Amino acid sequence: MLESPGSVPQETRSPDCHGTPNSSIPDEPLIHPLARREQDVLKDSTVDGRGFLSPLDPRAISHLSVTAAGLPRAIKALSTLLYALEQRGHVVSRENDGDTEYRLNAPHPKLIALIHGEKISFRLVESVRLKPGTATKSFIRRRTSPKFDYRSSTLTLYLQSVEFYNVSRKRSDHRHQRIEDCIEDIVSEFTRTAAAIKQAREDLERAHQEVEKRRLREAEERKQEKTLSAAS
């Protein structure tokens, strides 16, 4: 069975992306309230054919796509990231989550980081490889029932602009380094994404201005043609 990554002792954690110990991971980590909310959403859940959890309540929304074995690590990584963002003066929230009334076409709540005035949604996704000979289960069971043997598990963080869907980033585990050991670099990735959003907005405004200039120029040309036609 895949051991929970959260069980790795503090002294054996990998250095961060710059080769220094990651000071953002406390000795006794407290779960961030938003990470706790994600954990609560998946407490009562079902399991698909590869062990991935889904909230039993169809109205519940989770921003974690993980297996039961990978859930503790994902919660810990998410909590560390949320605290790191707040420590650097950024605001994190779960948007569109205040209305308890279920509406089919209502926007789903999103985990949002407000970075220099730009809203960036983010989520964690686990990908797994089953050990040879492990049969996938084609039926749904409660998370406490099925057992799965995994060869490997990879966690990926996806970032996406709320305003411009084409502005997105992702960071994944490397062979010898996990994303929670690169928190400083990942926070910088949020900053770079915010800069890309600002650039996308400037490009869009510039394109709109060019369209408007062309429209006015063509209107003026038509007006002059009418004037010349009337004079002749």
Report domain extents, the chain. 5-231
> What is the token pair recorded at 31?
């779960």
**17, 182 Cβ separation under 8 angstroms:** yes
Q: What is the token pair recorded at 7?
A: 């069980």
Place of tokens 């889904």: 54
Q: What is the pTM of this model?
A: 0.74
Query: pLDDT tens digits, residue range 32-78?
Result: 999 999 999 998 888 888 889 998 888 888 999 999 999 999 999 99
| pLDDT of 4 over the 80 cut | no
Summarised one tens digit per residue, pLDDT across range 76-85 is 999 999 999 9
Q: What confidence category does residue 104 fall into, taking pLDDT thresholds of 50, 70 and 90?
A: very low
The count of other CB atoms within 10 Å of the CB of residue 180 is 27
